[in-house]
Amino acid sequence: MAKDETRRLKPSITDEDKRAFSTLQAIPNYKPINPEYTIDKIAVQLNEMEAARAIEAQASASLNAARDRMIAAEWAFHNAILGVKQQVIAQFGSDANEIQALGLKKKSERKSPTRAKTPKT
């Protein structure tokens, strides 16, 4: 049968398979020797594929919605912490130990700006 049945098929292949099944249904004398390939069995497999596709689409939509909620919650928390840092600076000053405890540098620990030396030619 197939070489690698762990990867998804291209949509064009499944569309082609559906067209082939529709054509098969129009063949009046189709009676396979192997009972696994009767029209009824293939119709069941088609229905199972469509049901699985619908479940996947619903799960994908749920995943996208959950991801959007998570991203919004992360940004809300991040913005709240940025606000907290500003409030700590306003309350305790830009050179307080509380600033350092929040992961910021004290004003006194910052390097003062220096001019870049121009190379001599």
User: What gap in Å lies between CA 86 and CA 89, rounded to an integer?
Assistant: 5
> Which pLDDT does position 1 carry in this prediction?
59
> Which pLDDT does position 121 carry in this prediction?
67
Mean pLDDT by 10 residues, the chain (121 residues): 83 96 95 95 97 98 98 97 95 91 87 82 67
pTM value surpassing 0.95: no
Amino acid, res. 58: Q
Q: What is the DSSP string of the chain?
A: --S-TTSPPPHHHHHHHHHHHHHHHT-TT---SSGGGSHHHHHHHHHHHHHHHHHHHHHHHHHHHHHHHHHHHHHHHHHHHHHHHHHHHHHH-TT-HHHHHTTPPPGGGSPPP-PPPPPP-
State the distance between the two ends of the chain, measured CA to CA, in whole angstroms: 74
Q: What does the domain layout of the chain look like in residue ranges?
A: 17-105
